[in-house]
Amino acid sequence: MTIIAILWKEEDMYVIQDVNTGVTTQGETLEKAIENLKEAVSLYLEEASEEELGLQNREIVAILRIEG
């Protein structure tokens, strides 16, 4: 499983969000936040249908980082 995520820090916790599913979790360390996200996304995908995820017609062409 490949996860593309956004990571930020709030006070003393790392918060991490999967950009494809919106699943968000946190951890006291970067490693724990990543571990928690992997588990949370896995559980989410087990329960969600392809239609709910909007994957049936989605073809990712590129992932861009755009800075202003």
Note the pLDDT tens digit of each residue in 33-52.
999 999 999 999 888 876 66
- Indicate the domain borders of the chain: 5-53
Here the tokens at position 2 are 């490949």
What is the spatial distance between Cα 38 and Cα 23, in angstroms, rounded to a whole number?
10
Helix, strand or coil, per DSSP, at residue 61? coil
pTM score, two decimals?
A: 0.74
- What pLDDT, on the 0 to 100 scale, is given for residue 67? 77
Note the pLDDT tens digit of each residue in 3-27.
889 999 999 999 999 988 899 999 9
